[in-house]
Structure 1
Amino acid sequence: MVDELGRVAHYDLGPISVNNFGEKYFFNLNRNSFDKVSADALFDAKYGKDLFSEDALNVIIGTDSGLLPAYLQSKPLPKGTRYIFIEPEAVLQALKNSQLLDGLDEKILCISLEQWPEAIKSFKINDYLYINAVRSYNAICAQDDHINEYAELSWYITEVLSQLHWQISVELGSEAFIAKQIINLADNGRPAKLLEKAFTDKTVLLLAGGPSLDEVLPWLKLHREEVVVFAVSRISRQLLQANIEPDFVFSVDPTELSFDISKEMLEFSNKPIFVYSYHTVPTLVNQWQGLRLYLGQRLPWPSPLNVANIGSAGPTVTNTALSVAYHFGFKRIVLAGVDLCFTREGFTHASGSDEQLAGPRFNLTSLQVETNAGFMAPTSCDFAQAILSLSFQAKHLTDMGCRIFNISGSSAKVSNIEYLPISEIEFRDGAVNVAKIIAERVSEPAENDKYHKKILDELRRAQFQITGIARLAENARRINDEMYSADGVIENYKDKKKLDQIEKKFKREHRHYSKLVKSFGIRSFINLTKPFNDEEWSAEEAKQLGNVFYDAYHEGTTKLMRLLGDAVERVEARQQEYADTPNFGLVVEQYRKDRSFGRVRLWKAVATKIPADIQTEFAEFEKRFVEIVHDKNTRHFAKAKSHGNLSSLKQRAGLLFKHKKAEELSDLLASLDKHQDQQAVEPYRQLIAGYAAELQHKSAQALEAYRQIVDGGGVLVEQALIRIADIGVDSDDIHTANLALECLSQLNPLYLPLYAEMQRLHGDVLVAIDAYNNYIGQFPQDTLVQIKLANLYAEQGVYDAAGMMLDYILAQKPGLEAAVTMKAAIVSAGF
């Protein structure tokens, strides 16, 4: 009785319900989603054509009781497209047992998380990732998550897919990286190798953006002159607020989001040195007013301008800064803010960051890592991967004679990195004159004119080569079109020979640039292999294969020529910045085009005569620059806020309670004090407080918290009533349990059988019978409850009603043992 009423175990999925359209679904998975409209109509409205694109892999959390895969099955499945549905193990088994996943096409997989690695291998997920064709969705049941099983599953898959996307982008040498490399050519004047071994045997403090940074900044402010400081660009806001300038600032990411989180670095003076990857987002590179040192290759093709340089190690900016520290000669590297885990309250970054301002993060998986201080802390899939990467790098550097320390106890424990509490840190180098060391290595003034002229020569050489490739591809496309008969058969083998000669020219005369073109048409080239399409090529498709191949070349050359043309204009504009009589209009237009409004500060610092109308325009540009840098409502901030939505809070609290994580619940409760909307989180505060009290066996305290939710009458009432009923049953408080179940049965018919059972046990038989009949009227296929009602009729001597109910059951399920046995007992008793 306690288990059935208290834990509601049997009714986690609810009975199978059938709507007016004949569609079957587990009631508690989908509740009333399909009451008024059919599943097909709802899916049409929700997904439209999204699920029917060709050559795509769709990953979907939840199946909506099997209705969503059945919906897909009822349509013509698109060519080359596959579907992976992921369900919690118990739900998957229930769906299979109820035959709700029978007869699915081989292109549709329904799996549990345990089968994920095998499923993505068999469905060749990498091939879809290569062409940017992996999509993820939450089914309706996963969005609602009435059973508190889908949230963590969804969070986990989202993180895993994000990681896979990133890995494939790096593997492909993504065109985004090369595009940013070409844009940055105008400004990549000095390689970071100029400072190779410049700081031999010295110590550096490397600052990243983890929450433990907050502990370090007050200490650093007192000891700033004693230490060389490396800082990742994303903490610039916090450093400015603390009135601290680093010696070196680092950035590697090519995305616009990177600009959003790093733009405050542009407010530093010209003293810090910017060390950045060749593909860093250009709006940081071209508006920096101090010394810039790039990492990696200048050009994405072989050239004398690709001078020896320090590589752009990855995958994170911290990895890059660590590598540069070694190359600059530092033998003692102290890490701060390199946490790779979250605070117990769910904060991922230091005070002042977008993530901290957005509030605590609630969509945390159950992944945890050990910290330097010995306690466990939540982390994410990408942080867990970063820990492995950092450990591997640290081993390499320690083998090379470096010692690496982390001074935060709350940071993740990483092998090959020693823990040194901040109270014990000592810098024995004395004051290091960074400016003097830099001046010795970078003493000559920048020869911008010579550099820009060389870059222009390279760009024009590339344009000539790419134009040649485009011409060959166009010619090949024409020949390929003409050499096939109407049946897709080659009629003229001389034409085939011409195509072979063109292919040789691609490989010989344009070898390096042809490879570059393929980087920009890579997804089209991958499409050619059709690795995920098991169907045979038709004659017509075979005929079109050559055209698709040369069209891919055309796509690559078109993108590249546009980039190269823009790069030429940008370099020519840079030349005007140093001309005796600049073409102001050309420069202003380039600033506007690149949104590099802050660059006017650089020109104003060296220009002597600026016309009045240009001065006015410059003033407007400076104003826009300040507005952009100070704008806090960025896409990154919006993304950070999405991690703290209240539906995730309810789900996380439920998961922690379910797994009896008392300490984590306490941390989650504390995190709500820092949420932006205190009124909105109040019911959640009471729910978590109730959960925590229950785990401490403080029933009265828990009941008080839950009753406040019920009295409020808003969100979470059902969750609160479930807990009140549970406590009532556990403590034999019949009145409390009865009242809670009565309220629950009015909110959700799922609880009617539990309410009926409670009334039966306490002698209120008529109310029990009414409750059972009410339920059966809504769920006529739930045989278990029908048996219970028949049994109740028999116990009360109402044998006619019991017999009618049993006849109804046997009409649906002839031979059902429980019904046959009960029927026989009634007959043998003479009723």
Structure 2
Amino acid sequence: MQLQTNILNNFAISRFNEYYLPSINRHTFDNIDSKTIYEKNFKNLLHQKDNLNIIIGMDSGLLANYVLEAKFPDGSKFVFIELSSVLPLLVIDIPQHLQKKLIIVDESAVDEILSQDEIKIYITKGQYRLFPSLAVTAKHVDDYNTLLNDIESKLQNMSFQSQIDSTQKIFIHTQLANISDNHTQAKILKNTFSGQTCIVIAGGPSLDENIDWIYENRNNLFIICVSRIAGRLAKLSITPDIIVSVDPQDVSFNVSRDMFDLSDNSILVHSYHVSPKILSQWQGQCLYMGQRLPWDDKNDRDNIITVGPTVTNSSVRLAIEMGFTRILLSGVDFCYSKSGYTHASGTPEANQGPCLGHNTVWVETYEGYPAETLLQLRHAMESLEQEAQAYPDVDIINLSNRTAKITGISYVNPDNIQLDTLQSKSLENINIKYSSHDLTAMKTELTKVTVDFEKVFSLVKKAKKLSLTLNLNSNLSVKTMDEINKIEDRLNRKYSNLSTLIKFYGYHEFSNFLTTRDKDNWTQTHINNMTKSYYDAFSSICGIMLSLIENAHEKIQFRLKEMSDTPLSELAVRWKKENQPGRFLIWQKMHKQHILVQSESDLLLELSLLFKQNITPVKQTYTGVLNSNSAMNHVYTKIIRLNQSKNHYGLALTASNLLPFIAQNTEANRLYHLALSFQLSLEQQPQQALDALLAIPEELCTEMELKNIILLALKLSNLELAEATLVKILTHSDEYMPQYAHILKLQGKTQQSVNAYLDYLEKYPSDTQTWIKLGLFMIEINQVEASHTAFSNAIDADPNNQVAQEYLAELTRLMASSL
């Protein structure tokens, strides 16, 4: 026997005269009407203009009707995604005028819906929300959990891609801020180590298993490492030759603080958009990858480029460009460790404990087992695979078999790596171009481009002013629009580079110009407002760009002051303001002959203490697994997903990672035993699986645990346990009453079984299958008239039911022959 877990086509009527499916909504609407519940739980759903609302499940149709009865906010759209097993049971009448604003589909149509241009615009603009219905939130229908997870994953993928397209602002911002410090191109490193071996070290967990081998062979390895791991290597007496940093965010400085102790021994190779907080305070040699000026690449076309999406990808490309023909990888995992860790020990991420609740994908490791990874890391894997394909003459080797397997990259145990003696690690050809001459040339370039930007700004402001008059006089609108178009044409012809840069920088602001409204509903006023929005964005971003260029200009002037005899006290004011006290070290190197007076010595001591505070990591203690990304509701969804996909290995990992927390967290306790039970059940160990569930304290058991206890008890023929647990689960839903009646029947409790059937059918008289079961039961105990009545009721509920018709005909003949 299998416990009924399908959606039953049995509607109940609440005391508020609302029809709902108990299989979906249990007792949700028994005591409170749906509108009252929705007003409390979805009060913001109907107030957001120009927003896409994606709702999983319709709560037996009640949630869809609630939305339909409300006034739709302007520009809003609602997409209900219902299970294919439920949607045919529901009839939702969508008025003609709302059919483009409210869409109802099942899971099979999701990809088609999300691929629509209008939907993509909502997602690109970040104007969308995902809502679980009450039935989904209740978590008792497994298919809803799967559907919610699938939609979350699809939206994350789309949002991730749109973020790549729309978050360019910080890259341009840092590029302009770094103009004064991006002085020497990384291309001078090209082919400096042709035919030799290097190692690229990242921060993945596998670094821990390779670290001793790296230490022993450090003198015969040219070491390139990502900035976050440089400090740990130094503490182990492993000095990287090159440190690579690419992230524009200040968080990059926070996780890379220890690298500053290596400025005398390592070269920093960085992206043009690296965090200014790192670049401005690095007192050692540094080289930039990519393009120095955002509007002109003529001087950087042959420079080594930054390859995304991670710093590891850029590090491998750098090694290839330097001519290395064998590149060893360590800490390049691109996946979680078996214990759920994403980074090597000693890193802030490792100190936060294992990641349990991320929405992950699975990849294969060289060892052959599956491992979890994030979407971003899978993109990094794909990028590295492309590098391997593009450079087939370069042998890229991962030193750990516990890392994600990448086509074109092999695994070799480090004990089997033969290293030649490395003659020299020195980079004699490096010629640092940081000079007043270089800064003056950049100052001239910025002055020139400022003039052009001001001309663009003037034209844009003129177009914006014209756009404001479009709605005032319809007769003049055509002429006004013609003038605007002429300005736009001039911007695109004469200042195409700057116009493109402005739109690239202001992608988010310009996306407001895009509309999600159907073209059939466009009015002239709406079109005019779109034009106004376009030039609002153009004007706003142009003004911001001018301000950024002015800041870059001022920074160059300040750098020239640092080289001159400007008083240290004046320089220190800006260093403190920008929280970059480490500049004093660079100043000291430029002014070695300067004799300090007491006030300057005191000031340098103050700056030194500030810098030391900045580069001293705040000790992070592990506060437990319950951080935002590992919230237990996400862990539950993950466990259900792993069970449905029969991933017993993933369940074993999840259970193992939950085990340390079961003593202090009741939800972790419940989920540990649930994951363990699912794992053991998939491994055909039903008694052990049942024991795992019975180990959960009774007060922690939810419907999910009770349901699986019943299934396992039946599998093991433990009818007493099945009966006792069914009594408990009936408090959650009447849906289980037929199973309860059947268990009573199996135990010979005939009258109790009949009563249970009749109690259920009195409440749900349209349940044809249960009437048939009762009819067969009555035949077994020789109650022919009762059986006849049961099959008659089955036909009343479903006149076309062939099984009921056949049994009823046979019983009619039998009763006639006995007369």
TM-score by length of 2: 0.85
1:596 to 572, 580, 583: 580
1:145 aligns with 2:136: no
Q: Distance in 1 between matches of 2:254 and 2:134?
A: 33
Partner of 2:708: 723
Matches within 5 A, 1:680-699: 680=666, 681-699=668-686
Partner of 2:559: 574
1:621 to 599, 610, 624: 610
> Letter of the aligned partner of 1:406 in structure 2?
N
- Classify 1:623/1:365 alpha carbon distance in 2 versus 1 (closer, same or farther; 3 Å): closer
* Residue 338 (structure 1) shift: 2.2
* Residue 341 (structure 1) shift: 3.1
* Residue 506 (structure 1) shift: 1.8
Q: Distance in 1 between matches of 2:717 and 2:18?
A: 40
* Residue 192 (structure 1) shift: 1.0
Paired residue secondary structure (1:231) = strand
Q: Is the CA contact (8 Å cut-off) linking 2:306 and 2:314 kept in structure 1? A: yes
> Letter of the aligned partner of 1:463 in structure 2?
T
Q: Is the CA contact (8 Å cut-off) linking 2:357 and 2:632 kept in structure 1? A: no
2:628 to 628, 631, 642: 642
Partner of 1:406: 398
2:656 to 652, 665, 670: 670
Structure 1: give runs of 5+ residues left out of the alignment.
none
2:737 to 719, 736, 752: 752
Tell me the alpha carbon deviations over residues 53-79 of structure 1, each in whole angstroms, 9 at most, x when there is no partner. 444444444444444444333334444
Paired residue secondary structure (2:174) = helix
- Classify 1:281/1:626 alpha carbon distance in 2 versus 1 (closer, same or farther; 3 Å): closer
1:203 to 187, 197, 200: 197
2:434 to 446, 471, 474: 446
Matches within 5 A, 1:107-122: 107-122=101-116
> Letter of the aligned partner of 1:645 in structure 2?
A
- Classify 1:812/1:544 alpha carbon distance in 2 versus 1 (closer, same or farther; 3 Å): same
Q: Distance in 1 between matches of 2:124 and 2:638?
A: 34
> Letter of the aligned partner of 2:87 in structure 1?
L
Paired residue secondary structure (2:142) = coil
Paired residue secondary structure (1:219) = helix
2:69 to 67, 74, 79: 74
1:632 aligns with 2:620: yes
1:231 aligns with 2:217: no
Partner of 2:277: 283
* Residue 599 (structure 1) shift: 4.2
1:704 aligns with 2:691: yes
Partner of 2:334: 340
Partner of 1:94: 86
- Classify 1:36/1:601 alpha carbon distance in 2 versus 1 (closer, same or farther; 3 Å): farther
> Letter of the aligned partner of 2:633 in structure 1?
S
* Residue 708 (structure 1) shift: 1.9
> Letter of the aligned partner of 1:502 in structure 2?
I
Q: Is the CA contact (8 Å cut-off) linking 1:18 and 1:779 kept in structure 2? A: no
Q: Distance in 1 between matches of 2:461 and 2:102?
A: 40
Q: Distance in 2 between matches of 1:97 and 1:225?
A: 72
Q: Distance in 2 between matches of 1:565 and 1:469?
A: 16
Q: Distance in 1 between matches of 2:763 and 2:277?
A: 61
* Residue 576 (structure 1) shift: 3.6
- Classify 1:284/1:110 alpha carbon distance in 2 versus 1 (closer, same or farther; 3 Å): farther
1:423 aligns with 2:448: no
Partner of 2:304: 310
- Classify 1:127/1:684 alpha carbon distance in 2 versus 1 (closer, same or farther; 3 Å): closer
Q: Distance in 2 between matches of 1:621 and 1:777?
A: 78
Q: Distance in 1 between matches of 2:450 and 2:550?
A: 8
Q: Is the CA contact (8 Å cut-off) linking 1:369 and 1:379 kept in structure 2? A: yes
Partner of 2:314: 320
Q: Is the CA contact (8 Å cut-off) linking 2:471 and 2:528 kept in structure 1? A: yes
Q: Is the CA contact (8 Å cut-off) linking 2:680 and 2:689 kept in structure 1? A: yes
* Residue 380 (structure 1) shift: 4.2
> Letter of the aligned partner of 2:495 in structure 1?
H
* Residue 335 (structure 1) shift: 1.7
Tell me the alpha carbon deviations over residues 28-70 of structure 1, each in whole angstroms, 9 at most, x when there is no partner. 5444444554444444444444565444444444444444444
Tell me the alpha carbon deviations over residues 599-654 of structure 1, each in whole angstroms, 9 at most, x when there is no partner. 45544666645547745753663365146x325389xx999943433333334344
Q: Which range moved further: 460-469 or 670-679?
A: 670-679
Matches within 5 A, 1:242-261: 242-261=236-255
* Residue 205 (structure 1) shift: 0.5
Q: Distance in 1 between matches of 2:241 and 2:537?
A: 46
* Residue 687 (structure 1) shift: 3.2
1:433 aligns with 2:424: yes
Q: Is the CA contact (8 Å cut-off) linking 1:64 and 1:139 kept in structure 2? A: yes
- Classify 1:822/1:52 alpha carbon distance in 2 versus 1 (closer, same or farther; 3 Å): farther
Paired residue secondary structure (2:204) = coil
Q: Distance in 1 between matches of 2:146 and 2:589?
A: 54
* Residue 394 (structure 1) shift: 0.5
Q: Which range moved further: 781-790 or 554-563?
A: 781-790
The alignment-based identity, stated in percent, is 26
Partner of 2:452: 465
Q: Is the CA contact (8 Å cut-off) linking 2:727 and 2:740 kept in structure 1? A: yes
1:737 to 707, 719, 722: 722
Partner of 2:463: 476
- Classify 1:297/1:98 alpha carbon distance in 2 versus 1 (closer, same or farther; 3 Å): same
Paired residue secondary structure (2:217) = helix
Tell me the alpha carbon deviations over residues 369-400 of structure 1, each in whole angstroms, 9 at most, x when there is no partner. 333233443444444443333222111111xx
Q: Distance in 2 between matches of 1:482 and 1:810?
A: 72
Q: Distance in 2 between matches of 1:207 and 1:679?
A: 37
Q: Distance in 2 between matches of 1:254 and 1:639?
A: 29
Tell me the alpha carbon deviations over residues 504-543 of structure 1, each in whole angstroms, 9 at most, x when there is no partner. 4423443322222222443444444536633343132344
* Residue 670 (structure 1) shift: 2.9
Q: Is the CA contact (8 Å cut-off) linking 1:259 and 1:281 kept in structure 2? A: yes
- Classify 1:542/1:734 alpha carbon distance in 2 versus 1 (closer, same or farther; 3 Å): closer
Q: Distance in 1 between matches of 2:647 and 2:486?
A: 69
> Letter of the aligned partner of 2:275 in structure 1?
V
* Residue 300 (structure 1) shift: 0.8
- Classify 1:754/1:476 alpha carbon distance in 2 versus 1 (closer, same or farther; 3 Å): same
Tell me the alpha carbon deviations over residues 178-214 of structure 1, each in whole angstroms, 9 at most, x when there is no partner. 1221122232122211222222222111122333222
Q: Distance in 1 between matches of 2:734 and 2:691?
A: 26
1:362 aligns with 2:353: no
Tell me the alpha carbon deviations over residues 154-195 of structure 1, each in whole angstroms, 9 at most, x when there is no partner. 445444434433433444682232122112223212221122
Q: Distance in 1 between matches of 2:665 and 2:516?
A: 53
Q: Is the CA contact (8 Å cut-off) linking 2:351 and 2:620 kept in structure 1? A: no
Paired residue secondary structure (1:335) = strand
- Classify 1:688/1:501 alpha carbon distance in 2 versus 1 (closer, same or farther; 3 Å): closer
Q: Distance in 1 between matches of 2:281 and 2:143?
A: 48
Q: Distance in 1 between matches of 2:81 and 2:347?
A: 34
- Classify 1:497/1:761 alpha carbon distance in 2 versus 1 (closer, same or farther; 3 Å): closer
Q: Distance in 2 between matches of 1:258 and 1:156?
A: 32
Paired residue secondary structure (1:116) = helix
Q: Which range moved further: 737-746 or 378-387?
A: 378-387
Aligned length: 808
Q: Distance in 1 between matches of 2:398 and 2:541?
A: 45
Paired residue secondary structure (2:475) = coil
Paired residue secondary structure (2:178) = helix
- Classify 1:234/1:762 alpha carbon distance in 2 versus 1 (closer, same or farther; 3 Å): same
Matches within 5 A, 1:787-802: none
Tell me the alpha carbon deviations over residues 713-768 of structure 1, each in whole angstroms, 9 at most, x when there is no partner. 34345444333322322232222221222222245444333223322343435544
TM-score by length of 1: 0.84
Q: Which range moved further: 741-750 or 603-612?
A: 603-612
Cα RMSD of the aligned pairs, angstroms, is 4.1
* Residue 342 (structure 1) shift: 3.1
> Letter of the aligned partner of 2:85 in structure 1?
Q
Tell me the alpha carbon deviations over residues 103-134 of structure 1, each in whole angstroms, 9 at most, x when there is no partner. 77234444455543322223444433443434
